[in-house]
C-alpha cells in the first residue's frame, strides 16, 4: 500500500499536502514498527516448570572467601563502570559482608547479584517493557528502550539494579557496547556467553568454585541435584518472586 | 444573582512585564539545568543508588494532587451550580491544566533519558501503573482542556457534562498516582492499599487550599473585588477534608508502627530521622494539619480571610511534607535482605541513605514552579478567565 502510494505520487507529481501526509505516515510507521517487534518478543512463554531451560545459579557460601574476583571479572566482562564514588558506582555483582547478630558469630561473605526472578517485580513495573524475562529465565533490560524512570530500581526487592549515573569510558570487552548513560542496567548472567554455551564470567573465574551455573529445570544437571538435596534457600522468599539464584549454607 | 462577565486582563503595567521577565528567566534555568543533567548524567543530582526517586518525584506527586484537587473543586461547583463558585470555575480548571503540565514537565526532565519521550506511548505495559499513566494523564489533560473550553464558550450543558467526566477522571488520575507507590511489594514503607485514598483526599484538601490562595491574590493584584462568602463556604469544606487527611495519615503511620516490616522505617521518621523527624512532627502534624484545623474551627479566626488564607498556605506546606515523608524515608532505610544480620557492602547495603538536592535539582524545582506561574499570568492576559466585576459583599469582620 505504502509502496504503491509512493510510486504513484512520484509519477503524478506530489502536491505538498500528499507529501506531508506521506511523511507523517512514514514517521509514525517507523516509530511503531520496532515497537511491535519488541512487543512480540516480550510475549514469549514465561519460565516455569514446563519450559525446557531455566538458567539458574547456586552460590555456595561455605566456599566463598570474599576475594571479590567475581566483582572484578564482571566489570571487565560487561564494561560495568566504576567511578570511585560510593554514591553512584554501578555493581552487577557485589560481595556483601554479613554477620548474624549473635555473640561470637563470624563474619561471612555473600555474593549478591540479580536473582533472575520468574515473577520479577522490575519487569512488572517497567514503563516501556524494556525489562523482560526471557523464555529461559534470564531477566534482561533493553538499554535502547529504557527511559531511565528508575521505577524498577525502587521495585527490586534485592537492590540488584544500577543506574548509569555518568558517562563511562570503561570498555574492556569490545564484544559488547559501552554502558549507555541514564538507563537501568543489571546482571545478565553474561547472556552473550550463555547463548554461546559458555558459563558466565564470574562462575568461570571464581577461584573457589563457589558459584555453580546451570539449567535448574533439567533434573540431571549438577545444579538441579544440589537444589534437590534441600540445603539451598532463596533470599526474601516472602516476596514470592521465585528467584533463580539459590544460596547454600546461609 | 448577577451574571459574571469574564475578560482577559490588560497586562500592560511594568510590574506585569517584570514578573514575566523574572519567571521567564527561571523557566529558562529549568530547561538549561534539565539539559545539562541529561547530557552530564544524573551524578550531578543528589541521588544515589539507594534514593533514586527524590525531590522531583515529590514535586510531581504534589502537582498531580494540586491539579486533581483544583479540577474537582471547579467541577463540583459547576455540577452543583453554586453561583458564588462560578468565579472560581475557569481559573481552577486552567490551574488544573497547568499543574498537570508542570507535573509532566518535572517527571520527564527527571528521567535518565528524556529524549525517549515517545516510547511510553506505544510500549504500554498493562502491569505497570506508571505505564498506564501515559494514557491516563493525556486523557486527563484533554478532559481538562475541553472542560475549560466549555466554560469559556459559556455552554452550561457541556460544562456540567464535562465536569462530571472530569471529576471521575481526576479521581482516577490521583488514585493511580497513589497506586504507583502502593503496589511496590519490595518496599515495606510503600506497600499499602490506603495510599490511593490518602492521595485523593490530600489532593482535594490541598487543591482547594491552593485555589483559594491563587484566587484571592489574583483578584487582589488585579484590583478586582470578590464575594467573601465563597471563601467562607470553601473553608468549611476544606476543614472537613483536612480532618480526613489527618485521620488517614495517622492510621497509615500507626499501621507502620505496629508491623515489624515497617517498624524500623517508622521509628526513623518519628524519632531518629533528624530533619525528617522535624518534618513529621513540625511540618506535617503541626503546621500542616493541627494549626489549620484549629484556625478553621476557632470562631475567632474562621471568618477572617487572612486566617483562612494562612490555614490554606500551611496546609499546602503540610501536604508537601506528607509527600516528602512518604517518598524519601521510604527509600532511606536499608532493604532488609538479611533480617537478623549485620549487613554491609560496597553498594551501600545496610546503610541509612540520605539525600540532599544539588544545584541542578534546585534550579529544576524552582524553575518548574516558575513555569506554572509564568503560564498562569500569560493565560490571564490571553484568555477570559477572570470576571470583569465580581459582586462584592463586605466581610463583616474584615
pLDDT digits (tens, 9 = 90+) for B75-100: 877 777 666 667 778 888 999 999 99
pLDDT digits (tens, 9 = 90+) for B115-160: 999 999 988 998 898 898 889 999 999 999 999 999 888 888 888 8
CA dist., res. B201 & res. B156, Å (int): 28
Å between A197 CA and nearest CA of chain B:
30
Place of cell 510531581: B60
Q: What is the fold of B11-333+349-389?
A: Formate dehydrogenase/DMSO reductase fold (1.20.1630)
SS3 state of residue B304: coil
Residue (of A125, A120, A155, A238) closest to B259 by Cα position: A238
The predicted model gives B352-360 an average pLDDT of 91
In A, which residues are within 8 Å of B341 by CB distance? 98-101
In A, which residues are within 8 Å of B122 by CB distance? 31-32, 35
Q: CA geometry: angle at B146 spanning B140 and B148, to 5°? A: 100
pTM comes to: 0.87
CA dist., res. A142 & res. A131, Å (int): 6
- Spans of chain A, pLDDT less than 50: 1-13, 33-44
Q: With b meaning 16 or more CB within 10 Å and e meaning fewer, what string describes A216-233?
A: bbeeebebbebbeeeebe
pLDDT at site B199: 92
SS (H, E, C) A114-125: CCCCCCCHHHHH
SS3 state of residue A93: strand
Q: With b meaning 16 or more CB within 10 Å and e meaning fewer, what string describes B221-259?
A: eeebebbbebbeebbeebbebbbbbbebbeebbeebeee
Contacts A–B by Cβ distance under 8 A:
180
Q: Which of B41, B48, B185 sits opposite A167 (nearest CB)?
A: B41
CA dist., res. B241 & res. B209, Å (int): 10
pLDDT at site B1: 41
Place of cell 541513605: B353
Q: Which of A31, A101, A121 sits opposite B186 (nearest CB)?
A: A121
Q: Which of A129, A147, A153 sits opposite B113 (nearest CB)?
A: A147
Å between B190 CA and nearest CA of chain A:
10
SS (H, E, C) B217-285: HHHHHCCCCCCHHHHHHHHHHHHHHHHHHHHHHHHHHHHHHHCHHHHHHHHHHHHHCCHHHHHHHHHHH
pLDDT at site B359: 92
In B, which residues are within 8 Å of A147 by CB distance? 111-114, 116-117, 119-120
Q: Which of A100, A149, A153 sits opposite B111 (nearest CB)?
A: A149
Cell numbers at residue B282, please? 513540625
In A, which residues are within 8 Å of B120 by CB distance? 127-128, 147
Cell numbers at residue A173, please? 570487552
Nearest chain A residue to B41, by CA? A166
Q: Do A127 and B344 touch (CB under 8 A)?
A: no
Q: CA geometry: angle at B72 spanning B93 and B224, to 5°? A: 45
In B, which residues are within 8 Å of A97 by CB distance? 342-345
> Radius of gyration (Cα) for chain B, nearest Å?
22
pLDDT digits (tens, 9 = 90+) for B152-192: 888 888 888 898 898 899 998 889 899 999 999 888 889 98
Q: Do A155 and B345 touch (CB under 8 A)?
A: no
Amino acid at each position: 500500500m505504502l509502496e504503491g502510494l509512493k510510486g504513484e505520487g512520484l509519477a503524478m507529481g506530489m502536491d505538498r499536502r500528499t507529501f506531508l501526509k506521506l511523511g507523517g505516515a512514514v514517521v509514525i510507521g517507523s516509530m511503531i514498527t520496532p515497537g511491535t517487534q519488541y512487543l512480540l518478543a516480550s510475549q514469549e512463554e514465561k519460565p516455569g516448570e514446563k519450559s525446557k531451560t531455566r538458567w539458574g545459579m547456586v552460590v555456595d557460601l561455605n566456599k566463598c572467601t570474599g576475594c571479590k574476583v567475581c566483582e572484578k571479572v564482571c566489570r571487565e566482562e560487561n564494561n560495568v563502570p566504576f567511578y570511585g564514588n560510593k554514591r553512584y558506582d554501578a555493581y552487577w555483582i557485589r560481595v556483601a559482608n554479613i554477620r548474624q547478630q549473635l555473640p561470637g558469630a563470624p563474619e561471612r561473605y555473600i555474593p549478591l547479584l540479580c536473582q533472575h526472578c520468574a515473577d520479577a517485580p522490575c519487569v512488572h513495573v517497567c514503563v516501556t517493557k524494556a525489562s523482560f524475562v526471557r523464555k529461559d529465565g534470564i531477566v534482561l533490560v533493553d538499554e535502547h528502550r529504557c527511559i531511565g524512570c528508575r521505577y524498577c530500581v525502587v521495585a527490586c526487592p534485592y537492590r540488584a539494579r544500577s543506574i548509569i549515573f555518568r558517562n563511562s569510558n570503561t570498555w574492556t570487552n569490545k564484544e559488547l557496547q559501552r554502558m549507555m548513560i541514564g538507563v537501568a542496567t543489571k546482571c545478565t548472567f553474561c547472556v552473550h556467553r550463555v547463548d554461546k554455551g559458555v558459563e558466565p564470567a564470574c562462575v568461570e573465574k571464581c577461584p573457589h568454585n563457589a558459584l555453580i551455573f546451570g539449567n535448574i529445570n533439567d533434573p540431571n544437571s549438577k545444579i538441579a541435584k544440589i537444589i534437590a538435596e534441600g540445603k539451598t534457600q532463596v533470599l526474601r522468599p516472602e516476596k514470592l518472586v521465585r528467584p533463580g539464584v539459590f544460596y547454600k549454607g546461609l | 444573582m448577577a451574571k459574571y462577565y469574564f475578560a482577559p486582563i490588560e497586562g500592560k503595567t511594568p510590574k506585569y512585564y517584570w514578573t514575566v521577565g523574572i519567571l521567564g528567566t527561571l523557566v529558562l534555568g529549568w530547561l538549561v539545568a534539565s539539559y545539562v543533567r541529561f547530557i552530564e548524567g544524573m551524578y550531578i543530582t543528589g541521588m544515589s543508588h539507594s534514593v533514586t526517586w527524590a525531590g522531583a518525584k515529590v514535586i510531581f506527586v504534589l502537582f498531580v494532587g494540586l491539579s486533581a484537587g483544583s479540577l474537582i473543586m471547579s467541577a463540583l461547583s459547576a455540577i452543583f451550580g453554586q453561583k458564588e463558585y462560578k468565579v472560581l470555575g475557569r481559573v481552577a480548571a486552567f490551574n488544573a491544566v497547568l499543574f498537570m503540565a508542570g507535573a509532566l514537565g518535572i517527571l520527564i526532565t527527571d528521567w535518565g533519558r528524556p529524549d525517549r519521550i515517545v516510547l511510553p506511548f506505544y510500549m504500554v505495559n498493562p502491569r505497570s501503573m506508571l505505564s498506564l499513566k501515559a494514557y491516563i494523564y493525556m486523557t486527563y489533560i484533554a478532559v481538562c482542556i475541553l472542560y475549560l473550553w466549555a466554560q469559556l464558550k459559556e455552554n452550561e450543558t457541556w460544562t456540567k457534562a464535562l465536569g462530571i467526566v472530569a471529576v471521575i477522571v481526576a479521581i482516577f488520575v490521583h488514585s493511580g498516582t497513589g497506586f504507583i507507590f502502593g503496589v511496590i511489594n519490595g518496599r515495606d514503607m510503600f506497600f499499602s492499599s490506603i495510599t490511593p485514598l490518602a492521595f485523593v483526599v490530600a489532593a482535594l484538601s490541598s487543591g482547594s487550599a491552593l485555589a483559594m490562595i491563587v484566587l484571592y491574590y489574583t483578584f487582589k493584584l488585579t484590583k478586582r473585588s470578590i464575594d467573601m462568602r465563597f471563601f467562607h463556604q470553601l473553608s468549611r469544606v476544606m476543614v472537613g477534608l483536612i480532618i480526613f487527611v489527618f485521620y488517614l495519615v495517622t492510621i497509615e503511620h500507626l499501621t507502620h508502627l505496629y508491623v515489624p516490616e515497617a517498624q524500623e522505617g517508622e521509628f526513623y521518621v518519628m524519632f531518629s530521622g533528624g530533619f525528617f523527624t522535624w518534618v513529621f512532627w513540625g511540618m506535617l502534624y503541626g503546621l500542616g494539619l493541627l494549626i489549620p484545623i484549629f484556625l478553621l474551627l476557632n470562631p475567632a479566626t474562621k471568618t477572617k480571610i487572612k486566617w483562612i488564607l494562612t490555614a490554606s498556605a500551611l496546609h499546602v506546606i503540610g501536604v508537601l511534607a506528607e509527600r516528602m515523608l512518604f517518598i524519601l524515608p521510604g527509600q532511606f532505610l536499608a532493604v532488609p535482605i538479611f533480617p537478623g544480620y549485620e549487613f554491609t557492602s560496597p553498594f551501600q547495603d545496610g546503610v541509612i541513605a540520605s539525600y540532599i538536592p544539588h544545584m541542578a535539582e534546585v534550579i529544576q524545582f524552582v524553575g518548574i514552579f516558575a513555569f506554572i506561574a509564568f503560564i498562569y499570568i500569560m493565560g490571564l492576559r490571553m484568555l477570559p478567565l477572570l470576571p470583569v466585576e465580581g459582586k462584592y459583599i463586605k466581610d463583616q469582620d474584615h
